Structure 1
Amino acid sequence: MTQLYFIRHAQPNFENHKDSERELSPKGRKDCALVTEFLLDKNISAVYSSPFRRAVDTLGEFAALRGLPIRILDDFRERRVDSGWIEDFTAFSRRQWEDFSYRLSGGECLREVQARNLRALRRVLRECPDASVAVGTHGTALSTLLNAYDPGFGHADFERIKTLMPWAVHFTFFGEECAGIEEINLFTQEVKIRKEVVASYELETL
């Protein structure tokens, strides 16, 4: 059984429009303590991340405390929207969730984002079987993974979590089969079960 704890980055500095270089805001840096506290008792043996600065920095405190290197996987990066800044992000996002093939000329569609994030996830499963792993990620990237294993996760869910930073999603895998999904609000500790691991499934699999 492999436990993957995906951590959506803490609040970034929205004044920095360079996506890959966007640092955390002062609030975001402070909220990294919530991530560290959440992960401390999870027996994490490996840490992966998107290459984007805000994702790496959100896990930096925890990784340093545990003496774990942060392994960068480029496929975990956030969706590329376009070559420029999008003013009406809500309308753009809604259209992408309605049509997974929709993209702007310089950007990616959600189908492309989902495919490469699934590729990265499966690589982690191969490299860390039967381990507990933390992964630094992004709101849209993580949402497409949720949609892949729970097609009921759609635009309304994305809007619900859009401003929730940091945010955690716990996946349970048996081999490469997803057996459980939990969303965790790190501010309130509220857990939303999207797919529950049942004892009978675990016994049959093991």
Structure 2
Amino acid sequence: MSTRIVLVRHAESVWPALGVPDHDERPLTENGLAAASSLVPRLAAYAPTAVLSSPQLRAVQTVAPTADAIGLDVITWPELREWESGLLPSADWETSYAHSWAHPQFAHGDGESLDELTVRAGKALVRMAAEYPDATVVVGSHGTFLSRALIAAGHHADWESCRAMPMPAIYEVTR
């Protein structure tokens, strides 16, 4: 008896403004919206009983077309949010991210460490299995969150795989 969890990284989103905190209402681009629509046949084929998402708009917009097509609501869970890195968007964000991946216990300012994100992601996977036993759920979230969820589920992920993850991307784990 197991829960199949289909993790979906959001499609292409509008870039955050540099030097200011990112915001939850950052949407998908036109290309991202088209990509989200093109996911419908593939995600609907999983016959999910629930569609979950990060509350951040770009994640919701990625899975909403599938939820609409199969007659389900998108249910947002705050624990599916992207990594709360403590970093402001910057032109050299990759340097900071690479440092964090090399030192996953390190937290920037008041942000969470990647180790803390892995724990959060793992707890979310456990909650999904408890609330949707023997079912399939589609989950819209974010690249760093998905990478750390894969680690929590016993799969390999590293900075290079996270950095190379396409938008959108789909991964399947079983709990």
TM superposition score normalised by structure 1: 0.78
Q: Which residue of 2 aligns with 1:10?
A: 11
2:6–2:138 CA contact under 8 A, matched in 1: yes
Cα distance, 1:15 vs. partner? Answer: 4.5
The AA in structure 1 aligned to 2:174 is: T
Structure 1 stretches of 5 or more lacking a match? 174-206
From 101, 105, 108, the counterpart of 2:109:
105
2:22–2:88 CA contact under 8 A, matched in 1: no
- 1:108 and 1:62 map into 2 onto residues whose CA distance is 31
Cα distance, 1:108 vs. partner? Answer: 1.6
The AA in structure 2 aligned to 1:71 is: I
Give the total of aligned pairs. Answer: 171
Matched position secondary structure for 1:158: helix
1:78-89 alignment runs, 5 A limit: 78-82=82-86, 84-89=88-93
Q: Which residue of 2 aligns with 1:45?
A: 49
Cα distance, 1:151 vs. partner? Answer: 5.7
1:8–1:55 CA contact under 8 A, matched in 2: yes
The AA in structure 1 aligned to 2:8 is: I
**CA displacement, residues 115-142 of structure 1 (integer Å, 9 cap, x when unaligned):** 1111111111100000011001100000
- 2:71 and 2:106 map into 1 onto residues whose CA distance is 42
Q: Which residue of 1 aligns with 2:129?
A: 125
Aligned-pair identity (%)? 29
TM superposition score normalised by structure 2: 0.91
Structure 2 stretches of 5 or more lacking a match? none
The AA in structure 2 aligned to 1:137 is: S
Aligned-CA RMSD value: 1.6
1:137-152 alignment runs, 5 A limit: 137-150=141-154, 152=156
Provide closer, same or farther for how the CA distance between residues 151 and 15 of structure 1 changes in structure 2, counting only shifts above 3 A: closer
Larger RCO (CA within 8 A; separation ≥ 6): 2
From 33, 40, 55, the counterpart of 2:37:
33
